[in-house]
Structure 1
């Protein structure tokens, strides 16, 4: 029998996979209506992903990686800015 943790993690993995796919579909959509529909679907999945992620972390089903320090954040921002 599946445990709550397994169900939540499976759903979270599915949402994460669909979010990765939307970027490609949206960028290749020529029809404005289709493009907007895909954007709306992606936005809904992003909202669901955040809700499930919060639930998983609150219940100990998912342990996020260590939080980046302010110095690490600034370093990444500098590197990304330099590449533009």
Structure 2
């Protein structure tokens, strides 16, 4: 008698990806809430490692056709959003510098 696995490979890998996403959020929170530079650096390294693993798992899933992404966005729209975020970041940095001085 042959047993069917409860979860198929795509389901297992998707679960792993979901855990990596959750872990990345937790590390991000830890980075932003750390007041000790050494602890913050450690969480930053863990976050980078987690993001690299997430990227590798996503690539595997994408290659296997196990991950359906939303429709692609035109590169102009992406560049527009990046520019907007960069401008917001610059304004925020200027505001912080103003209050720090």
Q: Report the structure number with the largest CA radius of gyration.
A: 2
Which consecutive aligned stretches of 4+ in structure 1 deviate over 6 angstroms post-superposition? none
1:1-84, aligned counterparts within 5 Å?
1-83=6-88, 84=91
Q: Which has the higher contact order (CA 8 A, sep 6+)?
A: 1
Task: Write out per-residue CA displacement over residues 14-67 of structure 1, whole angstroms, 9 at most, x where no aligned residue.
Answer: 101111122211111112221111111111101100000000000111012222
Question: RMSD of aligned C-alpha atoms?
Answer: 1.5
Equivalent residues, number = 84
CA separation in 1, counterparts of 2:63 and 2:79? Answer: 28
TM-score, structure 1 length as denominator?
Answer: 0.86
Q: Which runs of 5+ in 2 are unaligned?
A: 1-5, 92-101
